[in-house]
Amino acid sequence: MSTWPSPSVSTPVDAVVDLPGSKSITNRALILAALADGPSQITGTLRSRDTDLMLDALAAMGVGISPAPDDPTTVDVTPAPLHGGRIDCGLAGTVMRFLPAVGALAAGDVEFDGDEQARSRPLHTVLDALRDLGASIDGSSLPFTVHGTGALAGGPVTVDASASSQFVSGLLLSAARFTDGVTITHDGPPVPSMPHIEMTVDMLREAGAAVSFDGASWTVAPGPIRAVDWAIEPDLSNAAAFLAAAAATGGRVSVPRWPTATTQPGAEITTILELMGATAARSDDGLLTVTGPDRLRAIDIDLHDVGELTPTVAALAALADGASTLRGIAHLRGHETDRLAALATEINRLGGDVTETDDGLRIVGVPLRAGVWHTYADHRMATAGSLLGLVVPGVEIENVATTSKTLPDFVSMWETMAGSAS
């Protein structure tokens, strides 16, 4: 088993960390550009495994994808008639849940598969919805095949999106190209990660689509998608672990280009860190700085809308004084891995005190010890383990390379930050 010795520090970190673009915005922008009425240029494109899988998938269906020779983060996207092809989803939820609707607009069969771990991820919600809208699809999980006919009728559809907001976004992104558009009604427990749907709606509107939400249903009118030159914001979810390092060590970490307003759920990390005793301030030039406290406070918080921050918050809670409760995150059992079980198992493996609840975790801060932290091929698990390793000597991360899913340079960035400890 290959492991990476997570660097630990005995003094506070003091670093500036420049993050690459947002995966969530990048992959939405790529789809909208592929379906647009003319060519687009995307600058600040995240180049990671998940986004490269999206680039390759769109190219496989006929879209012109041209990264700049001297800057792979600048990508020209030229729409073209979509045709059949083979799509490797890897472990990317945005690929396996956003592209089936695009595949239904292709002329030909689009075959989807991915990593072994991805074959257990729930997909039937979006695939059944596409069937209700007129698509022909074989299978309800990876591998599956969309028999594209070049068009999709669209219309009204009811889904239970309580397992993932991606089911709604995956339908919305292509809906303007459906013959009758779409009206999506959610029927079930509350949809998690609603800010991600708001991100989708905002980007659709920027591309000229007519989108409305009445509190129960989303409607997209049929019509063209306007070509937009997209500039991608830094990935604020990837920033979370680095900012949390300031909180964990009583140090200071700054992130440039922090937006004044954003639909990225990762922006909520600053509020959470402040609740745990840190301070956060953004300068006029966009530099966001978090300064850690002498001791972390325990927290009782509902993370339903920002579930992707759970591994980072859980790691901090394991280092905090007192008992923390993380609620509203039962849907994390269907992510890259069962994140609740994985977090409980791995923190407890290091001597922690974590119990699963029906919809979250109860974490008591106790002294932790050295050990191997397993990642379950989940990038957020890898960064959470690295955060603990920063203050617990002797933590080794199994398969830290899984961070390439969204942050290919994580190891060097983390080691540089750790080296800033004074």
User: Residue 341: which CATH number?
Assistant: 3.65.10.10
Question: For the chain, how many structural domains are there in total?
Answer: 2
The two tokens of residue 299 are 């927290």
- 307 and 377 inside one domain: yes
Domain closes at, from 169, 185, 219: 219
The H or E element that residue 363 is part of is: strand 360-364
Transcribe 87-156 into DSSP letters.
Answer: EE-TT-HHHHHHHHHHHHTSEEEEEEE--GGGGGS--HHHHHHHHHTT--EE-SSSSEEEEEES----EE
At 421 the pLDDT is 82
At 351 the pLDDT is 98
Distance CA 53, CA 56 (A): 5
- 12 and 35 inside one domain: no
Tell me if 14 is assigned to some domain.
yes
Domain closes at, from 219, 253, 286: 219
Q: Binding residue per annotation — 380?
A: yes
- 159 and 253 inside one domain: no
Tell me if 122 is assigned to some domain.
yes
* Three-state DSSP class for residue 248: helix
* Three-state DSSP class for residue 228: coil
Q: Binding residue per annotation — 333?
A: no
Strands 107-113 and 144-149: antiparallel
Q: pLDDT grade, residue 2 (50/70/90)?
A: confident
> Contact at 8 Å (CB) between 240 and 288?
no
Tell me if 226 is assigned to some domain.
no
Q: Which of 308, 336, 346, 398 is catalytic?
A: 308
- 44 and 114 inside one domain: yes
- 201 and 280 inside one domain: no
Percent of the chain with pLDDT over 90: 95
- 122 and 189 inside one domain: yes
Question: CB count, 10 Å around CB of 220?
Answer: 24
Tell me if 225 is assigned to some domain.
no
- 286 and 358 inside one domain: yes
- 144 and 264 inside one domain: no
- 182 and 240 inside one domain: no
Count how many residues are written for the chain: 422
Q: pLDDT grade, residue 1 (50/70/90)?
A: low
Sorted by sequence, the CB contacts under 8 Å of residue 366 that are 6+ apart come out as 318, 351, 352, 353
Higher-pLDDT residue of 243 and 406 is 243
Q: Binding residue per annotation — 148?
A: no
Which whole number is the average pLDDT over 84-90? Answer: 97
> How many helices, marked H, and strands, marked E, lie in the chain?
12, 23
Residue 206 annotated to the active site: no
Strands 83-88 and 71-78: unpaired
> Contact at 8 Å (CB) between 245 and 177?
no
Q: Please determine, for residue 422, whether its predicted confidence score (pLDDT) is greater than 80.
A: no
Distance CA 399, CA 397 (A): 6
Distance CA 351, CA 326 (A): 19
Which whole number is the average pLDDT over 346-350? Answer: 98
Which whole number is the average pLDDT over 197-203? Answer: 97
Q: Binding residue per annotation — 49?
A: no
- 163 and 280 inside one domain: no
Q: 137 to each of 67, 111, 141, 352, 375, how far by Cα in Å?
A: 32, 10, 11, 45, 33
> Contact at 8 Å (CB) between 251 and 292?
yes
- Residue 101's Cβ-side half-sphere holds a number of Cα atoms within 13 Å equal to 32
> Contact at 8 Å (CB) between 176 and 154?
no
pTM score above 0.85 = yes
> Contact at 8 Å (CB) between 131 and 139?
no
Q: Binding residue per annotation — 28?
A: yes
Q: Binding residue per annotation — 166?
A: yes
Q: 269 to each of 18, 79, 105, 239, 307, how far by Cα in Å?
A: 16, 36, 38, 9, 11
Tell me if 288 is assigned to some domain.
yes
Tell me if 230 is assigned to some domain.
no
Tell me if 302 is assigned to some domain.
yes
Which whole number is the average pLDDT over 285-303? Answer: 97
Question: CB count, 10 Å around CB of 2?
Answer: 9
Distance CA 251, CA 421 (A): 8
| pLDDT, tens digit, 9 for 90 and up, residues 55-79 | 999 999 999 999 999 999 999 999 9
Tell me if 310 is assigned to some domain.
yes
Domain closes at, from 160, 190, 219: 219
Q: 97 to each of 130, 153, 298, 302, how far by Cα in Å?
A: 11, 19, 35, 25
Task: Provide the residue range defining the domain that includes 177.
Answer: 23-219
- 10 and 52 inside one domain: no
- 80 and 194 inside one domain: yes
The two tokens of residue 6 are 């997570």
Q: Please determine, for residue 380, whether its predicted confidence score (pLDDT) is greater than 80.
A: yes
| pLDDT, tens digit, 9 for 90 and up, residues 101-154 | 999 999 999 999 999 989 988 899 999 999 999 999 999 999 999 999 999 999
Average per-residue pLDDT in the chain?
Answer: 96
